[in-house]
Amino acid sequence: MNHALTSGTPWRVMIRFAIPLLIGNVVQQMYQVADAMVVGQHLGVDALAAVGATNGILFLLIGFAQGMTQGFAIPTAQAFGAGDARGVRRSVAAGTILTAVASLVLMVGAPLIIRPFLGLLRTPPELSDQAVTFATVNFLGVAALMFFNYLSAIIRAIGDSRTPLVFLVIACLLNVALVVLFVQVMDLGVGGAALATVIAQLTSALLCLGYLVRSIEALHVGRADWRVGAAALGRQLKIGLPMGFQQSIIAIGTLAVQVSLNGLGATAVAAYTTATRVDGLAVAFLMSLGLAVSTFTAQNLGAGYTERIKTGVRQALVMSFVVSLFLSVTLVSAGNPIVRSFVGSGEEAVVAMAHEYLVINGALYVVLGVLFVTRSALQGLGRTLIPTLAGVLELAMRVSAAVVLSQVLGFQGIVSANPLAWIGASMLLVPAWIVARRKLPADVRSLKEVPFAEGQVEVTFPPASDRLLENNDVLPSSASAPSKESDNQPQGQSDADESKHSGDQVVKGQNRSYVDSAGHEQKNQRHDDGNTGEGTREDIVHHGAEPLRVR
C-alpha cells in the first residue's frame, strides 16, 4: 500500500510513518537484547564482551553499507513524490545493482581482515577467538542484511513503513527462537548467535522481495530499466556514498573508543556493551523520527511543497525535544534495574559502570534529537556534504574523548565521547539547516532530474502547480506557486464555495486533472475495475514522465 507524505498535517503524517519504524527499531533492539541475555547468562561475561568487541568493525563496514543503501532510496522517494514512474524504476534498478556489488565485496573481503583488525583494537586475548567467530559468520551472511535494508528502504520511500515492520517482527521472533536453539540447546556458542541473526535477516529479505513482486507495481523493474548508464549509477552514488561514509566516519570514532575501552579490561567492555543495548532501545524513537523526516522531505521536495517541508521539520524538532526529555528522566532514574536484567548475579561492577554510561548519555538526548532531525532533513533534500562534514566533526570529538579524556577520567571519559560528538555535529548541522531552509524556494524551482539512462531527455521536476487535483478539487485559473494554508496542504485544495468568489473552476466527475506549467488544464482518465472505491488510477504528473500507477 502506497502512502504519499505530501498531504495531511505534517506532524501527524510523520508520526503515522514513524510509529512502524519505532516499533521495528524497538523489536530489532529487543532481539539484540535477547541475544545479549542468552549469550551473557548462558555463555558468560567473556562471551558477551567478545560480541561487544566486534561492534567497532561491524559498525565500520556494515554501517557503511547500510547508510549507503538508505541513500539509494532517497532518489526513489524524490521520483515518487514527483510522480515519475520511470524515475522510480530506474532508481530501484541502479540501487539494486550497487547493493549487490557492495554485498559481494563485504562477503569476500571482510572475513580476511577481522583478526588483524581486532589486534589493532587491542582486543583482550581471552576474547579474540570468540570475537573472530562472531564477526566472520555475520560477514559471510551480510548480503541478507544488505538486501533487507535496501528493499525495506525503497518500500518506505513510497510511504509504506508498515509492511517492512511486519517482516521485521517475523524475523526478530525467528531470531530469538534460533538463538535459544543454537546457543542453549545445540551449544554452538557465539557463532550460533550470529548464525541465528543471518537466517532471520535472510527470511525478512525474501519476504520483502515477495511482497514487492506481488503487490507494488510502481517498483516493478522491467528489462529496459536494468540498462542503467553511468549517470544513473552516479546519481545513486552521489547520495549513497556520502551517507555511507558518514556512518563509517562515526564508526571510526567508535573504534577509537573501543581501543581505549579494551585497555580497561573485560569488565569495562561488558558494561559498555550492556549499556549500548539499553541506549539503543532508548533512542529508537529519535532514529525513527529521523527516517520519517528524510522520507517526508524527499517526497515533498519532489512535489515542490517547500513550505510544507519547513513546517514539518519544525514540528519534528518539537517532538524530538519532548521525547528526549522523557527518555533522559527515565534512564537517569531507572537505569540500575534495567541493567541488572542483562547480567547474572554478582556483577555489581558491570551494573555500576553501565548505569554511569546511561546517566551521562541520557542527559544529552535533547541534542541527539536535534542532530537526527536536522541531518535527516538535509539528506532528504539531497544535501550530503554538510552531514558528511558533521560526521567528520563527530569523529574528531570521539577520538579526542577516547584518547585524552580516558587517560584522565577513565571509563567516564570514554562514555563522554558520544555526547561530545553530538554537540559538535549539531553545531554544524543546525546552521546548515537554517541556510538550506531559507534557500528552499529557489532550490526547488531550479531542481532538475539527472538522466537515468544515456541519451534520455532531461526532465525537470514539476512545480507545485503541476500537481494532481482530486475529484471536486478546485482548479486554479492559472498556475502559481504553493501558498501557506492550514496544515500546509498543497495549494488549490480550498472549498468549492470559495472558488465562486475567486473565479476558480471546480472539476467534477471520474476524470482527474492537473494544471501544467504553462497553466493549461490536462485530463487523465480513471479506469474503474467495477469495485466501489477501487480501480487503477493512471495519473500523468508532469510532462516527459511516464504515468505513475498507484493502486
- How many C-beta atoms surround the C-beta of residue 162 within 10 A? 18
Mean pLDDT of the chain: 76
Q: Residue 304: exposed, middle, or buried by beta-carbon count in 10 A (0-12, 13-18, 19+)?
A: buried
**Average pLDDT, integer, range 448-472:** 35
- How many C-beta atoms surround the C-beta of residue 182 within 10 A? 21
Question: Any idea what the Cα angle at residue 196 is, between residues 210 and 60, rounded to 5°?
Answer: 90
Question: Which strands, in side-by-side order, build the sheet including 536-539?
Answer: 526-527, 536-539, 548-550
Q: Do 460 and 449 touch, CB atoms closer than 8 A? A: yes
Q: Do 67 and 153 touch, CB atoms closer than 8 A? A: no
Does the pTM surpass 0.75? The reply is no
Instruction: Give the model's pLDDT for residue 319.
Output: 94
Selected residue with higher pLDDT from 538 and 385: 385
Instruction: Give the model's pLDDT for residue 70.
Output: 84
Q: What is the pLDDT of residues 337-351, one digit of tens each?
A: 777 776 656 677 888
User: From residue 299, how far is each of 3, 76, 164 by CA, in Å?
Assistant: 11, 9, 19
Rounded to whole angstroms, the Cα distance separating 397 from 387 reads: 15
Q: What is the pLDDT of residues 103-132, one digit of tens each?
A: 999 899 889 888 888 888 778 888 888 889
Instruction: Give the model's pLDDT for residue 495.
Output: 39
3-state secondary structure (DSSP) of residue 468: strand
Q: Which amino acid is at 135?
A: A
Judge whether residue 320 has pLDDT over 50.
yes
Q: What is the pLDDT of residues 344-377, one digit of tens each?
A: 566 778 888 888 899 899 889 999 999 999 999 9
Q: Do 252 and 53 touch, CB atoms closer than 8 A? A: no
Three-state SS annotation for 30-62: HHHHHHHHHHHHHHCHHHHHHHHHCHHHHHHHH
Rounded to whole angstroms, the Cα distance separating 361 from 281 reads: 13
Q: What is the DSSP letter of 142?
A: H
Judge whether residue 71 has pLDDT over 80.
yes
Question: Which strands, in side-by-side order, build the sheet including 468-469?
Answer: 468-469, 512-515, 521-524
Rounded to whole angstroms, the Cα distance separating 512 from 137 reads: 53
Q: Do 350 and 274 touch, CB atoms closer than 8 A? A: yes
Q: What is the pLDDT of residues 302-317, one digit of tens each?
A: 888 888 999 999 999 9
Judge whether residue 480 has pLDDT over 60.
no
- Rounding to the nearest 10 degrees, give the CA dihedral for residues 419, 420, 421, 427: 110
Q: What is the pLDDT of residues 169-193, one digit of tens each?
A: 898 889 889 988 998 888 888 889 8
Q: Residue 477: exposed, middle, or buried by beta-carbon count in 10 A (0-12, 13-18, 19+)?
A: middle
Judge whether residue 500 has pLDDT over 80.
no
Nearest alpha carbon to residue 550 among 83, 8, 5? 83
Q: Do 75 and 235 touch, CB atoms closer than 8 A? A: yes
User: From residue 477, how far is each of 290, 499, 506, 518, 519 by CA, in Å?
Assistant: 38, 10, 10, 11, 8
Rounded to whole angstroms, the Cα distance separating 540 from 319 reads: 36
